[in-house]
Structure 1
């Protein structure tokens, strides 16, 4: 349910909200959930819908980019733009704009490989870039460093519990009986694409049951605990980015 400045938006009013065809399903999803989503203004709602739609598009684009999956020890990047740190992170070179650095991952994907948490951060950066434009992005994200959940603080990622997911949310599939020889499969960070459809780097776009099946194939010998979807949601603080 959507509430703007204390007033609930009725179903009859949804069609009057100006969004694109790709953004419309996100708006309808927000409106149909039982959770109440509060906004100060209509513009604030439209901005969140825009970023969420751009997040699902960035997930699809990353899947199509040719980037590889690797643990931190074996991560790779375009070292003309990024410095590969000893811990397996990517530090943007001072002469390179943040916009160019992020876009290069999608344009020259075969030069990059990383694990799923890094993929989520890259997706959130790309969605933000496509939502606020290069000039604002370059000003906001100077000194860009990509490494697990150590993101630029200006992205303002927030996490909370919940079971009603929206497109653009990051949710986590936990694999408690993962094989210690392959710790990168202790779980999978994913982006919600649609109802029961998720993007996970290294797995692709799949229903939840398929992601759980993939993780269960990476468990230790004689494992008894199945992977499962946690009720934890992570996304940027849209109000701050706007």
Structure 2
């Protein structure tokens, strides 16, 4: 359910003119049992656009030819990033916007696992939603790996099984054979489909089936979806909207 504290006529008209995935995101927010409260129509429109950009970033990463691999065998373009003990640190005098964009344009220079993929998708969606100058200011000194992220990215993780397109969910694989397949983070795209780096696009059932092929030999314990989701604090980020 959506509540707007100070609605305006122009914003209301823009909401009525939504179409495609933006309309689907609006309807998912409005029909949700969760209360989504905004000060203005502008904040709601930003949330919708940000979620749409998360979906586009997920599809962009899927098509970027990035390898799926563990930290030991990982790689990032050394022009922009330097590997350290806990992740990849942005090189001095490199703009964060250029470094994040490079992952999507030169994907063959990168290899990482699914949690890193989710954070990178979030960064790309924010880059496409706010002013580039603000992005470079907010995210200077980036360290990327696993769920390491700058506090200005403002990721919120909540319990619950009601997902909105653009949310990130987690499929747990309790009897994994290799540690990299202990589970799969995935973006909820729309129409019941998810994208997870290393598996690709599929329904929840297909994600679980894929993980079940990666269990210890003889295991009968199925993978399953955790009842939680991660999303961005759009009201905070909206102040930097482009």
Q: What is the TM-score normalised by the length of structure 1?
A: 0.92
Give 2:91's aligned residue. 93
Structure 2 unaligned blocks of 5 or more: none
Q: Residue deviations 1:81-101, cap 9 Å, x none? A: 1102244x2111011100000
Structure 1 residues 72 and 227, CA gap change in structure 2 (3 angstroms): same
Give 1:72's aligned residue. 71
Kept in 1: contact 2:157–2:228 (CA 8 A)? yes
Secondary structure at the aligned position of 2:57 is classed as helix
Secondary structure at the aligned position of 1:165 is classed as coil
Give 2:57's aligned residue. 58
Cα distance in 2, alignment partners of residues 121 and 177 from structure 1: 25
Within a 5 Å distance, the mapping from 1:192-231 to structure 2 comes to 192-231=188-227
In the alignment of these two chains, the number of paired residues is 234
Residue 111 of structure 1 deviates from its aligned partner by 0.5
Secondary structure at the aligned position of 1:76 is classed as coil
Partner residue of 1:177 out of 175, 178, 189: 175
Structure 1 residues 130 and 123, CA gap change in structure 2 (3 angstroms): same
Cα distance in 1, alignment partners of residues 206 and 174 from structure 2: 17
Within a 5 Å distance, the mapping from 1:52-201 to structure 2 comes to 52-87=51-86, 89-179=87-177, 182-201=178-197
Give 1:10's aligned residue. none
Cα distance in 2, alignment partners of residues 77 and 144 from structure 1: 13
Kept in 2: contact 1:19–1:46 (CA 8 A)? no
Kept in 2: contact 1:169–1:235 (CA 8 A)? yes
Kept in 2: contact 1:48–1:238 (CA 8 A)? yes
Residue 18 of structure 1 deviates from its aligned partner by 4.8
Q: Which runs of 4+ in 1 moved over 6 A?
A: none
Secondary structure at the aligned position of 2:226 is classed as strand
